[in-house]
Amino acid sequence: MTSIVSVALCTYNGSRFLPKQLASIAAQTRLPDELVVCDDGSSDATPQIVEDFGSSVTFPVRFFRNPANLGSTKNFEQAIGLCTGDLIALCDQDDIWLSEKLARQAEVMERDPSLGGVFSDAELVDDQSQPIGKRLWASIGFTSREQRRFRGGQGVSVLLKKNVVTGATLMVRADLRSLFVPIPSIWVHDGWIAWMMTLYSRLALIDVPLVRYRIHVNQQVGVEAGALLLQLSFRQRLEKGKREEPAKHLSMARELEELDSKIVSLKEERFQAILPGIRKKIEFQRDRGSQQTNNFLRMSCLLRNARNYQRYESGLKCLVRDIVMMFV
């Protein structure tokens, strides 16, 4: 059975890159049945670009402009809710889709009605749309082993290490929206959707790039790619990490606390077994975000977490980096 496919696109002052993204949607081998655009109060030419695009394509383009800025997460929640299709492809304003993206993802979803969604790898490009020689999954450490674990039903363990589901590559089944909406404002939308779909359903993987994922300094959320960090010296990267990472660790702890509360509220026995792992990760993130100024005490705390660096991070390499950052 052929599904109705919606695209949920969120925009905010996106006039620099938006035309290429829209052109790539219009060039799909399987065109969407509708494009829903939610603009978060742009002050540039974004609304006019969308209006002009809507008059040039054969599928409906529905444009909504927020009277007040909602932020990325709530804007995506709104766009997803406004879609009328059976399948919803999430779309960022600054990427470029390969022509077969919608066709490939819709085919996977139509072939297996038990799937909650599907996501893919992506090719990283710079602000001139030129490849930087890296893929998305490799840049976030979503290795072949982790991919096999995700496919094999160990998605929770994979997500406890990191979110491997990038919203710009994600398609979800519309009738499962109630499982992940509302999205807590502290979360980025794709991370929350990934967790809810993994708990309640299944996510399929397509291990080839279907998106050219743009890396640029002004993106609101996204991959902190090596292409940007390599502009800094090794010491500058460590100093940047020392300044910024404790707050990120504490923020992740708060996100996981929200997830813990959600799972507890569900009162479903099948989910209770994952709570200890989530709570251990919360404590691990709190320890990494600690503002302890005594280096001896801080190092002792980090060393006590050696096993957690294996379970929730990239292992010894990450532990050593955290220790080295103490002394820059």
Contact partners, residue 232, CB within 8 Å, separation at least 6: 240
205 shares its domain with 290:
no
Both tokens assigned to 148: 């096999």
Counting the structural domains of the chain, the total is 2
pLDDT at 16 over 50: yes
- Three-class secondary structure of residue 71 per DSSP: coil
Same domain membership, residue 208 and residue 298 = no
User: Which of 224, 252, 280 is where one domain is finished?
Assistant: 224
Q: Provide the pairing of β-strand 34-39 with 5-11.
A: parallel
pLDDT range class, residue 157, cuts 50, 70, 90 = very high
Residues 205 and 263 in one domain: no
0.75 exceeded by pTM:
yes
Q: Which of 280, 272, 273, 223 is nearest to 256 (CA)?
A: 280
What integer pLDDT is reported at residue 218 of this predicted model?
Answer: 55
Given this model, what pLDDT does residue 312 score? 94
**pLDDT of the residue at 220:** 46
Identify which has the larger pLDDT, 91 or 223: 91
Residue 231: pLDDT band (50, 70, 90) is low
Instruction: Give the Cα separation of 144 and 127 in Å (integer).
Output: 28
**Encoding tokens for residue 249?**
């660790």
Task: Pick 304 or 225 by higher pLDDT.
Answer: 304
Which one, of 126, 197, 130, 128, lies nearest residue 163 by Cα? 197
pLDDT over 80 at 288, yes or no? yes
Task: Decide: 239 and 327 in contact? Cβ < 8 Å.
Answer: no
Omega within 30 of 0 (cis) for the link into 182:
yes
Q: Mind listing the pLDDT tens digit for each residue in 256-268?
A: 999 999 999 988 9
Same domain flag for 18 and 139: yes
Dihedral over Cα of 32, 33, 38, 43: its sign: positive
Of 207, 209, 205, 177, the closest CA to residue 193 belongs to 177
End-to-end CA distance of the chain: 59
Q: Examine the domain organization and report whether 240 and 313 are in the same domain.
A: yes
What pLDDT score does 225 carry? 43
Nearest by Cα to 211 from 96, 319, 71, 94: 96
Q: What is the mean pLDDT of residues 235-255?
A: 90
Residues 16 and 149 in one domain: yes
**Weakest-pLDDT range from 79-83, 96-100, 123-127, 323-327:** 323-327
Phi and psi, residue 205, nearest 5°:
-115, 140
Specify whether 192 is located in the same domain as 135. Answer: yes
Same domain, yes or no: 29 and 170: yes
Q: Tell me the three state secondary structure of residue 297.
A: helix
Domain boundary among 224, 257, 275: 224
**What is the residue range of 317's domain?**
232-325
- Same domain? For 243 and 201 the reply is no
- Residue 44 — φ and ψ, nearest 5°? -105, -155
CA angle 11, 16, 18 (to 5 degrees): 45
Which CATH number belongs to the domain containing residue 78 in this structure? Answer: 3.90.550.10
Q: What is the rounded distance in angstroms from the CA atom of residue 67 to the CA atom of residue 89?
A: 24
Are residues 268 and 197 located together in one domain of the fold? no
Dist CA 12 CA 44 (whole Å)? 9
Q: What angle do CA 229, 307, 321 make, to 5 degrees?
A: 25
Note whether 120 and 169 are same-domain residues: yes
Alpha-carbon span 7 to 134, nearest angstrom: 26
Three-state SS sequence of 97-144: ECCCHHHHHHHHHHHCCCCCEEEEEEEEECCCCCEEEEEHHHHCCCCH
Domain edge (last residue) among 175, 193, 224:
224
Q: Do 150 and 272 reside in the same domain of the chain?
A: no
